[in-house]
Structure 1
């Protein structure tokens, strides 16, 4: 019986769930696990269907050597290769392992999107799963933590489904495959550092467990499966509660609706809501304290004073709604407290996006169908509030500027008066900390304000809407980069 058959069978089963022409991205670190996965994927699916994706974290002095090794390994097999360099954030309260993992997955998803690949294969195996369950048990994790790694998972907002074809196989089986096929791989020196909890389990705990409880990996895998099943039931309940409590397409929760639930149900909803937003999971102690504060400010009626910080984010309350915002966002009482940013300029030539990193967001210029030969400003406004003729965008250089205070715009018909942005924000119930947005100018004329729309005063009544038009949108990053 071939020594590599278990790996080949596992990859074949994973491949059978995909369309015949679907491409597969393999997260390729260069270690033995991902090297085995990539080699087996090429043997089963063919090199043309595979792309190897490498993330350069810059945490090891050998990172450049690893990048070169991975590129060579892929090219030797005729596999397309791509890599991204990331900067691992060192935020307070977030471990270096967690920060690196978050940066890695964001980079992998970016590469999958760039290559239009919707399936990402990961090399984790049964030993990794057992270590994960043990870590979560020792941390006092809930069901979501004990469920550990899913064989298949589609994260909210990600373009690629994450698949772990080798999750039921032992590390020893992967090493046997590597030996049979004479694979060369990287040994990351940090894997021997027992200051990291996972490494301590791997080198000092699981060997002892294997002696006294030889089947511990299978037992922990069953524990993870049971926890995952129970978590699915809790998620189903949370989805029911979300229907009653969510606002603003899931970006906000009703303060009153959340507090109407008992503590267990409210905490379950908070955990689920945070996962849908892609936020880092909070500890039970942190969430319990957050719920206590929510109940206190709800009783006192001063929710606008609420600020609960977690992993670079802040939970805020405004007019009865709860939001998660970037933790460094300010809460200006008036225009004098707004942060000034460097002006960005763009000569618009049909670009569909304009990324503004200083505001952590993007202007989107989406083409729309012409309104027709008899179109006018009023009818166009009725159909699409933020539609602008292309001729206006080409009229002068576009610039993105900070609010300085006192800016005015007209959101209605020609008979409407120009009003201050501050008054319009207040009228529409936009929280104070969301008002620090880039103002889009054409030349020296204010053209568009995120959350408020197009300044009608910048669009003469005689303007032709029958020609090419675009809808202007502002997309704000949810998480801190």
Structure 2
């Protein structure tokens, strides 16, 4: 066919892209998730025509699942270059963990990579090429899985996931696969046919090849009907989310990182489960099944009655739901340690030869040490008993190290007071486990300062000059939960 000839499908696709483009600022750049299949090829071609190639970036994720993955990467790069569109790719490793489907693992890895690629380029809009057939298949899959309203709502036309920098937009969601194929043929596009799309061992492929053709014969309007079902479910889910936000205002603690156990248990089961689902989404965590959340709520009610919060443990997606001093929270890792100890993460050691710096930024810890000089009276009195003599900071290299377990410090000023483990001090001060993954500040080989606990008195030694300038050390944590 003549690629310059305009077809009805051509007009529909360009119109859909134009509508999506009109919602953006005039200078906004657009990232297009580009697998090289027919759907994303149509979207990229149309976006370049309507928005202009300079505003578009084609993002390709190399999963390595197919023997042809390298060829697909080369094809996608050439396709983008033909249209003058910037191209970027990222390779990912797909998890093969037991109990997780390859489809789900590949999807999660793909979206993480796409979000990262958008973030590095400062792009806030990611266009995806899903269409009406994809939406119908998604609703059917969710129905067959017994999903709730959030699942039945299927794919939103526009959505900003928690923690993502770019909104996911689906300009073609109301168009049929057949219409996209008509556009591709009219434009004489070349695209990739992924051999895995024919494998009916995958649930979506089974629906696509064996179920929806039969539905189309007996229920020609099934796609529109399922799209309406998704819209109704999305509206109902919106109301449930509004209710959950009201409950979060009462139950949330520590900026939503934890929930009050009493506030949660004051709700009836349906409302409490709704809050737990919403809380998981706000934290950017993987949705949990109704069975998993129901079990968690049962355990919370049981331990609440028994007054044994430490007994709670519900594992989900590499996290453990724990209860500590009236709060519930998700703890990283699947360790078997009791709930009042953190999963210790190891980070690269950072060092600083301190020469009066006021701040020491530690990106791997997502925080900053601040060194503030404190005025000292003539008699040596000062308002900050935890301040450190300036000579202590300069007597050896400073280093920020991860906790390894077993570290001790003397928090009291009394010379003969015993040192105690950090774990014991954290417990005594009621510091929940998710806040304990902090950088330990050493001077030479001596532990000097621990965020949330203070200065290790044993590292100060005796000072000959009580009027020596002092420094107050403060740790500013950008994000307490990763």
Specify the TM-score bucket, using the shorter chain as the normaliser.
0.7 to 0.9
Question: C-alpha distance in 2, partners of 1:231/1:406?
Answer: 48
TM-fit CA distance, 1:93: 2.8
What residue is the counterpart of 1:133 in the other structure? 139
TM-fit CA distance, 1:316: 0.8
Tell me, yes or no, if structure 1 residue 2 matches structure 2 residue 3: no
Tell me, yes or no, if structure 1 residue 325 matches structure 2 residue 331: yes
User: Deviation string for 1:83-123 (max 9, x for gaps)?
Assistant: 22222223333222112111111111111110011111111
User: Deviation string for 1:411-441 (max 9, x for gaps)?
Assistant: 9999x99764233201221345764655343
Q: Find the partner of 1:286 among 285, 288, 292.
A: 292
Change (3 A) 1:426 1:79: same
Q: TM-score, normalised by structure 1?
A: 0.85
Q: Find the partner of 2:307 among 282, 301, 304.
A: 301
What residue is the counterpart of 1:423 in the other structure? 424
SS of match in other structure, 1:331: coil
What residue is the counterpart of 1:189 in the other structure? 195
Q: Find the partner of 1:39 among 40, 45, 49.
A: 45
SS of match in other structure, 1:344: coil
Question: C-alpha distance in 2, partners of 1:12/1:116?
Answer: 22
User: Deviation string for 1:48-71 (max 9, x for gaps)?
Assistant: 111111111122222222122212
Whether the 8 Å CA contact 1:386–1:471 is kept in 2: the answer is no
SS of match in other structure, 2:32: strand
Whether the 8 Å CA contact 2:126–2:169 is kept in 1: the answer is yes
What residue is the counterpart of 2:153 in the other structure? 147
Q: Pick which of 62-71 and 131-140 moved more.
A: 62-71
Change (3 A) 1:333 1:365: closer
Question: C-alpha distance in 2, partners of 1:411/1:66?
Answer: 64
- Within 5 A, what are the aligned runs for 1:296-445? 296-331=302-337, 344-348=348-352, 352-355=361-364, 362-365=365-368, 396=397, 398-408=399-409, 410=411, 420-431=421-432, 435=436, 438-445=439-446
Q: Pick which of 39-48 and 228-237 moved more.
A: 39-48
SS of match in other structure, 1:25: strand
Question: C-alpha distance in 2, partners of 1:32/1:114?
Answer: 27
SS of match in other structure, 1:249: coil
Give ranges in structure 1 of 5+ residues lacking alignment: 356-361
User: Deviation string for 1:433-465 (max 9, x for gaps)?
Assistant: 764655343432324435546668778984576
TM-fit CA distance, 1:260: 0.9
- Within 5 A, what are the aligned runs for 1:215-230? 215-230=221-236
Whether the 8 Å CA contact 1:411–1:454 is kept in 2: the answer is no
- Within 5 A, what are the aligned runs for 1:428-467? 428-431=429-432, 435=436, 438-452=439-453, 462=468
Whether the 8 Å CA contact 1:380–1:465 is kept in 2: the answer is no
TM-fit CA distance, 1:254: 1.1
Question: C-alpha distance in 1, partners of 2:275/2:133?
Answer: 32
Which entry has the higher C-alpha Rg, 1 or 2? 2
SS of match in other structure, 2:255: helix
Question: C-alpha distance in 1, partners of 2:184/2:388?
Answer: 58
Change (3 A) 1:462 1:387: closer
TM-fit CA distance, 1:351: 7.9
Whether the 8 Å CA contact 2:389–2:468 is kept in 1: the answer is no
Give ranges in structure 2 of 5+ residues lacking alignment: 1-5, 354-358
Question: C-alpha distance in 1, partners of 2:381/2:94?
Answer: 49
Q: Find the partner of 2:273 among 258, 267, 273.
A: 267
What residue is the counterpart of 2:356 in the other structure? none
Question: C-alpha distance in 2, partners of 1:109/1:396?
Answer: 38
TM-fit CA distance, 1:329: 3.4
Question: C-alpha distance in 1, partners of 2:451/2:373?
Answer: 27
Tell me, yes or no, if structure 1 residue 30 matches structure 2 residue 36: yes
Question: C-alpha distance in 1, partners of 2:447/2:31?
Answer: 44
Whether the 8 Å CA contact 2:131–2:176 is kept in 1: the answer is yes
Whether the 8 Å CA contact 2:434–2:480 is kept in 1: the answer is no
Whether the 8 Å CA contact 1:401–1:441 is kept in 2: the answer is no
What residue is the counterpart of 1:473 in the other structure? 477
TM-fit CA distance, 1:261: 0.8
Q: TM-score, normalised by structure 2?
A: 0.85
What residue is the counterpart of 2:3 in the other structure? none
Question: C-alpha distance in 1, partners of 2:191/2:256?
Answer: 44
Whether the 8 Å CA contact 1:352–1:365 is kept in 2: the answer is yes
TM-fit CA distance, 1:211: 0.9
Q: Pick which of 20-29 and 79-88 moved more.
A: 79-88
TM-fit CA distance, 1:189: 1.2
SS of match in other structure, 1:26: strand
The number of residues matched between the two structures is 463
Change (3 A) 1:38 1:159: same
